[in-house]
Amino acid sequence: MIVHSSIADFKAFRCDLKTKIGFVPTMGALHEGHLSLIRKSKSENEKTCCSIFVNPIQFNNPEDFAKYPKVLDRDLELLQQEGCDVVFVPSAQEMYPIAPKTRFDFGSLETVMEGAFRPGHFNGVAIVVSKLFHIVRPNMAYFGRKDLQQTLVIKQLVSDLQFPLEIEVCDTWRESDGLAMSSRNARLTTEQRTQAVILYQQLLEAKSLLIKGMSIPFICDAMLNRINAQIGVKAEYFQIVEANSLLPFKNKPQGEVAICVAAYFGDVRLIDNLVFPFEGSTN
């Protein structure tokens, strides 16, 4: 496995590659969710590239950035075991020798949920992903549905700027109790880890209430109350929206539905979602 930390070295290496390349951008502290993307890429491409870069400009909370888990040696071992071909591990100085001034505006895609609660987040994501796409020049790029809003922003970016690649959105990997795998889970205390399963439980409960014909405002209120009833837990949002636009349903829900949640367990912020086709309630 080749590891590059300089953009110039990576580009020189890339110039000689004529094969189909799959790309998995990450912020490291890899878990099975990340590795599932690597496996998917390996099954569909001749070469697979993974990047590990904790992107400072997408963090709106400096403490979250400072405390983001960093375990590079272990990550490289895992990638080697998976048979990843090349890893790009730039420093912040390498990626941003001067602070970028470009500003993206994704309209309604970034005024809701993550966009509303994390100002500037998707601008930082769009800048780093654009830079990585230019450096890596992949044929395919793999992203997790766990970050649903991010996948929509990136698809919009690729379409608007005509990046010559295909985006594949992959299923969310979960722990055995249902908690979505996340690098931030490592920061949970034992008690918070036990509490955190409530996110998936309430997503499932909300789906079942929706199918029974309960109203969306009623469901979201009830789920928020249940999450917030736990000591040290504070939900930021619980929303049921149209999965492709993330906008509320004008009338009755129909088509692809997304149920999305974000909550703090102490100072650790977790997100999760369920996306499913909805054919109407049973009532």
Q: Would you name the residues annotated as active-site residues?
A: 34
Least distance CB 182 / ligand AMP (angstroms): 5
Residue 130 or 172: the one with the smaller Cβ distance to ligand AMP is 172
26 counts as binding ligand AMP under rule CB under 6 A: yes
Contact 202, 238 (CB under 8 A): yes
3-state secondary structure of 272: strand
Selected from 122, 143, 163, 238, the binder of ligand AMP by CB under 6 A is 143
Least distance CB 174 / ligand AMP (angstroms): 7
What Cα–Cα distance (Å) separates residue 260 from each residue in 124, 147, 199, 212? 21, 10, 9, 19
147 counts as binding ligand AMP under rule CB under 6 A: yes
Q: Which secondary structure element, helix H or strand E, spans residue 50, and what is its range?
A: strand 47-52
Least distance CB 117 / ligand AMP (angstroms): 17
- The answer to whether the Cα torsion of 224, 227, 230, 235 is positive or negative is negative
172 counts as binding ligand AMP under rule CB under 6 A: yes
Tell the residue number behind the tokens 């409530």, with chain if given: 198
Least distance CB 169 / ligand AMP (angstroms): 8
146 counts as binding ligand AMP under rule CB under 6 A: yes
57 counts as binding ligand AMP under rule CB under 6 A: no
Q: Using CA atoms in the order 43, 142, 170, 244, what is the torsion angle rounded to 10 degrees?
A: -140
> With contacts defined by CB under 6 A, how many residues of the chain interact with ligand AMP?
17
Selected from 50, 129, 181, 220, the binder of ligand AMP by CB under 6 A is 181
Contact 67, 186 (CB under 8 A): no
Selected from 27, 132, 140, 243, the binder of ligand AMP by CB under 6 A is 27
Selected from 180, 223, 268, 270, the binder of ligand AMP by CB under 6 A is 180
- Give the CB-side neighbour count of residue 69, counting CA atoms within 13 A: 17
Which one of 60-68, 143-151, 222-230, 250-258 is the stretch in contact with ligand AMP (CB under 6 A)? Answer: 143-151
Residue 209 or 260: the one with the smaller Cβ distance to ligand AMP is 260
Task: Dig out the tokens for 119 from the structure.
Answer: 């100002």
Residue 209 or 268: the one with the smaller Cβ distance to ligand AMP is 268
- The answer to whether the Cα torsion of 209, 33, 192, 114 is positive or negative is negative
Per the rule left: phi > 0, alpha: psi between -120 and 50, beta: everything else, 172 is beta
Which positions lie near ligand AMP, rule CB under 6 A? 26-27, 33-34, 36-37, 143-144, 146-147, 170, 172-173, 180-183
